[in-house]
Structures are given as C-alpha cells and as structure tokens.
Amino acid sequence: MQILVVEDEKRLAQALRQILTEQKYMVDVVYDGNDGLDYALSGIYDIIILDIMIPYKDGFQVAYELRRQKIDTPVLMLTAKDTIPDKVSGHNSGADDYMTKPFAPEELLARIKALTRRKGEVMMDETDFGDFNFNASTCELSKDSKSVRLNFKEAEILKLLLANRDAIISKEDIITKVWGYDSDAGSNNVEAYISFLRRKLHFIQSETEIKAIKKMGYRLEQCHD
C-alpha cells in the first residue's frame, strides 16, 4: 500500500511520514505541487494526501490535473481549519475527501481506510516473524501446531513490536499507543505485559525473544544460535 504525501510544511510532513510508516504503509513525501503532480501521475499510489497550500501549484490544480489525465487515485485534501469554501472547491476538483488541520492521527488513518476500502483491497493481517505467526484478525499467536490467543493489550503491543520489526520501540511509545495519549500508565505496566507476551511466546515454544535494551525500549529478535 503506497501513499504519496504532498506537504511543504516540514514538521507536518515528517509527522505524517511517521504516522503512516508506523502503520506499514510505504510513504513518499514531496514538498511542492510540481513534484506532487509528477509523482502522482506515475499512478503507482493507492492514495494521495495533498495539502492545498503548497508552492508552485496548489492542491486544487494538482487534483484537477490528475483527474484530467485520468488518474483516479483517491485524493485526501488537507486544509487549514477556517477555509470553509475550500470544501466546495475540493469536492469539485477531484478530491475524494478533505480534512482540516490539525487532526488526530486516528482520524487520518480512519479516512485513509475509508478511501482505500473502496478499492476493494483487503488488508492481509497475518504476520510472520522468525518462527511464529500472528493472525491479527483472530489475535492468535502460533508456531507449528501450538497456539494461544492474545488478549487486547497483548495483541496491541505485539503489533507494535511487529510493526517496528528491527527497530527499538520505547516504552513511552508503547504507552501512548496502547494506553493512549493521556493515560497514567507507568512503565511497569508495559513491563508486566511484556512479561505476559514472553510467557505466551514460550508457551508455543517459540525461540523468538522480546529483548529489552536498557533505557531505550524493546525489540523483537529471532534466536540465532
């Protein structure tokens, strides 16, 4: 699933990239309308996130030109909060949806899902890592014939670990993503759940480990003897 982000505001662009790559989307970011149109015309994207106020060509022009050239990649327009008239232009100019800045990551992801669902692409939610397999739609963790069901938080944490494959994910990240933004969960909560996960991995006799890196976070590692 490939996403093109056309956004000149560097901070926002960076935030978008992070949010999206975390969800395992492949992301390309460009910073103005000319590049945006060039990239978009390739037709390889599943969705285009397009700010309206960008250099050279604005979002409307890009979207309009895209449609004129029969590229029907869904376009999600980003617009400043107070520009109501933009909604109309947005809908006329080939945008499929629009969203006002600022927005919650969840909202962005929801809209992306709505737009891509229409393409009829069913997301596959089986993941392999090392010697085990995790089925996100049933929350089942399995190796060979053994399997256990993970509960909600265990599953969320494992998904995060899997999404970050060979990077280290910090406890703070885990807390904000699983417990939420303003929860008062402490690091021991994460530790407890990591412990539960380890027990279940051990139960299915997986050799994969959840490694702790002091002061940094956790990371999945397959055992390499």
List contacts with a second copy (CB under 8 A): 41, 43, 68-72, 74, 96, 117-120, 137-139, 149, 151-152, 166-168, 213-216, 219
Partner from a second copy, DNA, none contacting 126, C-beta within 5 to 8 A by type:
none
Nearer to a second copy, 86 or 96 (CB): 96
- Asked if 196 is part of the footprint of DNA (rule: CB under 7 A), the reply reads yes
**Considering the complex, what minimum distance in angstroms separates the CB of residue 96 from a second copy?**
6
What is d(CA 8, CA 98) in angstroms, rounded to the nearest whole number? 17
Contact range with DNA by CB under 7 A, out of 12-20, 34-42, 45-53, 189-197? 189-197
Restricting to residues 127-156, name those near DNA by CB under 7 A.
Answer: 149, 151-154
Q: 67 or 198, CB closer to DNA? A: 198
Phi and psi at 206, nearest 5°, equal -80, 150
Residue with tokens 């008062």: 184
User: How many Cα atoms occupy the beta-carbon half-sphere of 176 within 13 Å?
Assistant: 8
Q: How many CB atoms lie within 10 A of CB 123?
A: 11
Rg of the chain in Å (alpha carbons): 20
The option from DNA, a second copy, none interacting with 219 (CB < 5 to 8 A, set by class) reads a second copy
Nearest to 4 by CA among 58, 73, 57, 52: 73
